[in-house]
Amino acid sequence: PKDVGICAIHVVVPSLYVDQADLERYDQVSKGKYTVGLGQKQMGFCTDLEDVNSLCLTAVSQLIENNGISYSDIGRLEVGTETIIDKSKSAKTVLMKLFEASGNFQVEGIDTTNACYGGTAALFNALSWIESSSWDGRLAVVVAADIAVYAKGNARPTGGAGAVAMLIGPGASLVVDRGLRGTYMNHAYDFYKPDLSSEYPVVDGKLSVDCYLNALDRCYESYLSKCHGGEVGLNRFDSFVFHAPYCKLVRKSLARLYMNDFINEIGANDENHQHQDWAVAEKTFVELSRTVFEDKTEPSLLLASRVGNTYTASVYSGLASYLLSVPPERLPGKRIGMFSYGSGLASSMYSIKVVDNGGLPGMIGNLKKGVDRLDERTRLAPEQFADVLDSRQKSLHRASYVPVGDRGQLFPGTWFLSGIDELHRRFYERN
Ligand code: ACO
């Protein structure tokens, strides 16, 4: 099959958010720490009415409906998430509920987990299926969804929640470049979730940032080594989208690639050299790369700055944000670099070429429907946000349980958890 890639994207943003400046006051940190220091404006969150299953149900059902396809057109459905609510039963099997009416139960694919990387692993699986001898000619759906919440403390403002569902097939508008991938995986305890009774991770923030930036170097080096012909460096890309734990790190990441280009040009590309110099060089390269950042990366931060880290969905929210920032008629021909990082750690860099196949305007129009919800959200006070997180944490594994969140605050068309019975079986309804 030709031009395999992303044919449609749908973004789900939570209906509630807290303002980061409000949060600075509430947390009694210095003014500007979250808004300037981390680069965050707002943070999306969900009450106990939503869990990762309901986010996936909302994302997949709206993707299918908005794009006028049928559940029987889908031959593979992959879920990427790190929000685990059951040690055995996958979110994918919950999503099969949506397929019942169509009678299509022949749907391959299952959940993939490793921190924020699961969505990318799911995408790679879907692409491989279509390029393989097992492909039956149907489309694939990839959904990446997470609820990112941290215990009280310095990591809490880097939370978020959301989902991105993507339709994968041949003849796509966003064609994933073949044979051009850089991957770096290693063993690290930078961020992990050993306590299965809590939604909160154990996180070594500084280590996670070091691991992220090192993985970025390694993936970039590997990606560039596979480029034959054309520019070998940032000039190769019209846009560069990064996994976005918080926007400031993305700003630094673009600067880091800029520094890599600089080192490659002067031919001093030994690893120690790069690493030791970063502490000193960071400020300089952030300055030097300013216009490149504004041009290639800043437009991808709309959702990251207003919703926060959506873990597996983050880099795909970045892609969606970038696509909406460019007039659709100027998109064809653009090449987008993608960097996906999941703590623990797993990371990949790959690229996408935008192709004019007639589908773009429809795709962008449908994408807008989800992202436009950003302006229709309800702003809650930091006290209310903290209460919601406390109540989520307390109720996480209770059975039986009826959620206490306000259904009236959900967007129309949102799936929600209506109850959990004494056997821990979860039931969902649609708003
Ligand atoms: N005004 C402006 N800037 C400020 C202010 C202020 N009042 N106060 C602090 N800052 C700046 C700091 O100088 C710093 O800038 P720098 O990064 O350029 O040095 C920045 O704000 C952050 O301040 P720190 O004191 O370094 O922040 P802290 O250590 O409290 O927390 C951290 C930051 C570690 C990122 C924390 O939020 C965290 O652990 N988050 C979760 C882990 C994470 O997201 N890791 C990223 C990769 S892994 C993943 O995706 C989960």
Confidence (pLDDT) at 276: 57
* 225 bridge partner residues: none
What is the DSSP annotation of 148-202? E---SSTTGGG-EEEEEEEEEESS-SEEEEEEEEEEEE----SEE---TT-SPPE
Confidence (pLDDT) at 279: 83
Q: Is 153 in the pocket of ligand 1 (CB under 6 A)?
A: no
Distance (Å, whole) CA 354 – CA 254: 21
Asked if 82 contacts 118 with a C-beta cutoff of 8 angstroms, the reply is yes
Q: Tell me what the mean pLDDT of segment 412-431 comes to.
A: 98
Confidence (pLDDT) at 271: 58
Distance (Å, whole) CA 382 – CA 161: 16
DSSP code at position 116? B
Q: Name, in order, each residue with C-beta under 8 angstroms of 355's C-beta and a sequence gap of 6 or more.
A: 3, 172, 173, 174, 175, 332
pLDDT digits (tens, 9 = 90+) for 348-368: 999 999 999 889 999 999 999
pLDDT band, residue 272 (cuts 50/70/90): low
Half-sphere exposure of 68 (CA within 13 A, CB side): 5
pLDDT digits (tens, 9 = 90+) for 381-421: 999 999 999 999 999 889 999 999 999 999 999 999 999 99
Return the structure tokens found at 31. Answer: 């003014």
Q: Is 283 in the pocket of ligand 1 (CB under 6 A)?
A: no
Considering only CA atoms, which residue is closest to atom 5 of ligand 1? 33
Whole-number mean pLDDT of the chain?
96
- Cα(209) to ligand 1 centroid in Å equals 9
pLDDT digits (tens, 9 = 90+) for 191-215: 999 999 999 999 999 999 999 999 9
pLDDT at 11 exceeding the cut of 70: yes
- Cα(183) to ligand 1 centroid in Å equals 26
Provide, rounded to the nearest whole percent, the portion of the chain with pLDDT above 70.
98
Q: Using DSSP bridges, classify how beta strands 346-354 and 74-80 pair: parallel, antiparallel or unpaired.
A: unpaired
pLDDT digits (tens, 9 = 90+) for 273-287: 555 578 889 999 999
pLDDT band, residue 229 (cuts 50/70/90): confident
Residue type, 34: Y
**Which atom of ligand 1 approaches the CA of 157 most closely?**
37
ipTM, two decimals: 0.98
pLDDT at 12 exceeding the cut of 70: yes
| Whether pTM exceeds 0.95 | yes
Q: Is 252 in the pocket of ligand 1 (CB under 6 A)?
A: no
Q: Is 418 annotated as a binding residue?
A: no
Q: Tell me what the mean pLDDT of segment 28-50 comes to.
A: 98
**Which atom of ligand 1 approaches the CA of 154 most closely?**
30
**Which atom of ligand 1 approaches the CA of 211 most closely?**
47
Q: Is 117 in the pocket of ligand 1 (CB under 6 A)?
A: no
Range in 129-133, 216-220, 273-277 the model is least confident about: 273-277
In total, the chain counts a number of residues equal to 431
Q: What share of the chain is helix, strand, coil (3-state, %, to 5)?
A: 45, 25, 35
Q: Is 154 annotated as a binding residue?
A: yes
CA neighbor of 328 nearest in space, from 280, 366, 288, 377: 366
What is the DSSP annotation of 273-320? HHHHHHHHHHHHHHHHTHHHHHHHTGGGGHHHHHH---GGGHHHHHHH
Confidence (pLDDT) at 336: 98
- Cα(58) to ligand 1 centroid in Å equals 32
CA neighbor of 208 nearest in space, from 195, 222, 191: 191
pLDDT at 47 exceeding the cut of 70: yes
Name the residues annotated as catalytic. Answer: 82, 116, 243
Q: Is 205 in the pocket of ligand 1 (CB under 6 A)?
A: yes
- Cα(40) to ligand 1 centroid in Å equals 11
pLDDT band, residue 40 (cuts 50/70/90): very high
pLDDT at 267 exceeding the cut of 90: no
Q: Tell me what the mean pLDDT of segment 239-251 comes to.
A: 98
Considering only CA atoms, which residue is closest to atom 34 of ligand 1? 205
Q: Is 248 annotated as a binding residue?
A: yes
For residue 216, count other CB atoms closer than 10 A to its CB: 25
What is the DSSP annotation of 381-393? -HHHHHHHHHHHH
Residue of 231 and 165 predicted with greater confidence? 165
Q: What is the CA radius of gyration of the chain?
A: 21
Confidence (pLDDT) at 254: 98
pLDDT at 269 exceeding the cut of 70: no
